[in-house]
Amino acid sequence: MSSILYSSSPSANIYPMSELFLRHRLQIVEELWESVLRQECGQKMVDLLRQLRDLCSPEGQATNDQASSAVELIEQLNINEAIRAARAFALYFQLINIIEQEYEQKQQLSRYSDSDSIDQENIPNIVYSTNQREDDLPVTKSWGGNPISHSWTDTTPATQKGTFAALFPLLFKLNVPPQQIQRLISQLDIRLVFTAHPTEIVRHTIRDKQRQVVNLLQQLDNVETRSGGYPWEAAEVKERLLEEIRLWWRTDELHQFKPTVLDEVDYALHYFQEVLFDGIPQLYKRLKYSLKQTFPWLEPPSKNFCSFGSWVGSDRDGNPSVTPEVTWKTACYQRKMVLERYIQSVKQLIELLSVSMHWSDVLPDLLESLELDQSILSDVYDALALRYRQEPYRLKLAYVLRRLENTRDRNLALYNRETPSNEDSPMYRSGAEFLAELRLIQRNLTETGLSCGELDHLICQVEIFDFNLTQLDIRQESSRHSDALNEILEYLQILPQSYHELSEAQRVAWLTGELQTRRPLIPAELPFSEKTNDVIETFRVVRSLQQEFGINICQTYIISMCREVSDVLEVLLLAKEARLFDPAIAVGTIRVVPLFETVEDLQRSRSVMRQLFELPLYRAFLAGGYEATNPENTSSHTTLNPNLQEVMLGYSDSNKDSGFLSSNWEIHKAQKSLQKIAEEYGLNLRIFHGRGGSVGRGGGPAYEAILAQPGHSINGRIKITEQGEVLASKYSLLDLALYHIETITSAVVQASLLKTGFDDIEPWNEIMEELAHASRQHYRALIYEQPDFIDFFHQVTPIEEISQLQISSRPARRPSGKKDLSSLRAIPWVFSWTQTRFLLPSWYGVGTALQEFLNEQPEEHLKLMRYFYVKWPFFKMVISKAEMTLAKVDIEMARHYVQELSNPEDKPRFEKVFEQIASEFYLTRDLVLKITGHQKLLDGDPILQRSVQLRNGTIVPLGFIQVSLLKRLRQYKNSTTPGIIHSRYSKGELLRGALLTINGIAAGMRNTG
């Protein structure tokens, strides 16, 4: 068979012999894919797809002479044929993604059976960190010197990197004091926050189809590897795969309607339902077991060392659909899911714990508990006392089950905003009450010589997820708070002038004074505008949530576009009005988190936080109240972690604002300075990383990214957003999800306990400052100063079509009404450049910055850049991310978008813009190769290189199809006279075809925004 994947050209075989399993699976899936297309579309379509694919170069890139042949072929297709071709390629990519995910999962599982030891001779002289700053690092005053002979990140075998099994032996062999390890893991705090950011382009109906294919592939694995199996069994599974893929083919890929916020909540909970709820307790077991193997005398962390947050249903920044009522329903919806899972588990335990009093002792505390339950739940006793009269655990669990069911029924009424009819029925008011009952049963089993793994598993789930599943973070843009206060104060006529007219110093002075009064500012009835009322009601619903669910459900309020001290104090004042902060004792149940996004805001973050920490009221608030600031008083009224300041750093807008290199450096510097300031005031700092899925929005391998952070900025705590397609790629399969979180945890421990000291070498920092400045200047010269760039962007990318994808409840632009870059959100910005194969936000400006530095002293500075790449984790991370993105760029395909989609009168000026971009691409690519020492991009990561090359070849013809459909669509829209060649197609048909190509390319690139 002449397949698209397995060309007869020797150069097309990009798989080493060690990956026979992967090759075998890819071949099976491709045969099934072709068979489906043959049945659904005919042999002619299969031949067309092969012909389009064969036009591509062996390296998977478009070529100069390819475009004309492809355009000629595609222009002959009618709209139905073009759509079918686009759908076929999209299906191909998603099948390939499934195979690679399954292969990656098998690779992760193999890591735990790999017993390779760490080579003692290659262990460097690491400086382990403490909770105190160390100023005597062994560095020189020149370019840098050689404080360690090897990079510690390279001492672990590749098959084990990131696992707990590799982490603790490494710490042992590096002689890290056990007390340091114990202190760190005791305070270990990993927070993964799911968001509804619109980068998940695949319908969840299609995700269900994908899951079915995964299940069938796993069945095929079992059949093929099982000894004594019958040949017809494998054939039967393949036939079922064929049926499933045919059903998939006949399912619409496009979202039929714009999802509501509660739809997005359901999408996010899907990953908990299918993977995380049952899987996360295994993460604790892995850590506990690995720790015991190396440090048996150390205590493991708490079971909820890794917890989850969510913005879905609570992030209202730019999304008017997220109302206080939606946030309330979201919390109830989350509780509904966990309660249903707990009910299911308790029913299983009733079946399992059939222990009889005839054959096992029962301790008095359980019997006393049963007597109390009997008096409260007499109907349960009457119904089951005879059946379970000698089976105390079953009877006890029957009482537990009834309480859970009553809790669930009450929660349903609250979701519907009805008065619960069973308010007086016995139920659990918190997960802690439920947990106490489970521990009572566990203690009785243990003390009578028994154990129950299912019960232990359930207890672990309750400790991790409680009754809330995730913590909801509120996020709102800073101007919404100042606008609301301005309207309130004008209505009450408190100030002699408008609040907006006050200077920053005047605002801070007034806010500080107002925060210390007990007098209410906002009336109970709200006579204000809808926007102001929404802000006030948001704080009130947080108060209601905390009263109903406990403060853990919602205790973080994030201020996007935070620029000044007043932005933080405004939120604290509004929280005070909702009784979330008591000014008399300076105790609050809400944590105010500034989000610094643009480069200017990142640079300003140091002074903003220092000014906040200087305010006695704010310092008392962080400490847990005025009493807590008294050294002789060890008590605290607050239930928040005392003396912990959380700060969020935004990767997306800083990148859009100043480019990839400058953004990463400013974030790196901000972390160092914020940690230093926090230490000066005796505070703990938790950095919240607002990472996206793409490199242009802070994405990339999390393990390497965390290791590249300044060690002092972590200290066992990290919070990270998980967005869009990252959820699908990292959390769809159990073992992939566990490995992903395990690598994050391992990296946090490593970065906290081990450090190279390179971040503190001042001459190196000066060089990076120079590179970042040059990169930013070149980036902004194109994006913000090139007069033709905005028109170029809107014409040659599918930005307008992307905005019509029904993939998010949030608009693509901020509500300014302008079609400029400032109003455009970072996600569609990156999404558009990814579709056209420019991927410009992830590399532009890097080449020019490097070249200017090399021009000063070519040989010496090139050696220095290579030294940075080997030794400095931050620099290596930046170059590696750029290299990965450059490998996905296809500059000739990008040229085709410019040539075909530019208006004729605009082509001369747009070609100049393109040549400027292309020149920077070639310069950046060549310099990255020089620094890394690679012959080709990604030579250092052959698995990723193979994956990118495999996709590139098939994205090329899909890109040609997209350009053709976009061109026809825009001709239709711009035509004022009838009779143009493609007028027989409706606008809806053309738009649908274009959107399908967007789906396909997104699947092929494996990321969107």
Active site residues: 197, 656
Q: What are phi and psi of 832, to 5 degrees?
A: -65, -45
Q: How far apart are the first and last CA of the chain?
A: 37
Residues shown for the chain: 1009
Contact predicate 460/303, CB 8 Å: yes
Question: Of 991, 857, 953, which Cα lies nearest the Cα of 70?
Answer: 953
Report how far residue 748's alpha carbon sits from residue 284's, in angstroms, rounded to the nearest whole number. 15
Question: Does residue 889 sit in helix, strand or coil?
Answer: coil
Contact predicate 209/251, CB 8 Å: yes
Q: Is 944 exposed, middle or buried (0-12, 13-18, 19+ CB in 10 A)?
A: middle
Report how far residue 22's alpha carbon sits from residue 942's, in angstroms, rounded to the nearest whole number. 14
- CA-based angle 894:899:901, to the nearest 5? 90
**Concatenated DSSP letters for 383-443?**
HHTTTTTT-HHHHHHHHHHHHHHHHHHHHHHHHTT---TTTTS---SSHHHHHHHHHHHHH
> What DSSP character marks residue 34?
H
Report how far residue 624's alpha carbon sits from residue 587's, in angstroms, rounded to the nearest whole number. 6
Report the half-sphere exposure of 482 (CA within 13 A, side-chain side): 23
**Residue 189 bridge partners (DSSP):** 717
Report how far residue 637's alpha carbon sits from residue 253's, in angstroms, rounded to the nearest whole number. 53
- CA-based angle 194:196:197, to the nearest 5? 110
**Concatenated DSSP letters for 661-694?**
HHHHHHHHHHHHHHHHHHHHTT-EEEEEEE--SS
**Residue written as tokens 């990339």?**
700
Strands 189-194 and 556-560, by their bridges, are unpaired
Q: What are phi and psi of 108, to 5 degrees?
A: -65, -40
Token output for 170: 């490494």
Contact predicate 593/567, CB 8 Å: no
Cβ-count burial 185-201 (b if 16+ within 10 Å, e if not): bebbbbbbbbbbbbbbb
Inter-residue long-range contacts of 912-920, CB under 8 Å, 24+ positions, other chains counted: 912/788, 913/782, 913/786, 913/788, 913/789, 913/792, 914/792, 916/782, 916/786, 917/782, 917/838, 917/840, 917/844, 918/891, 918/894, 920/778, 920/844, 920/845, 920/847, 920/848
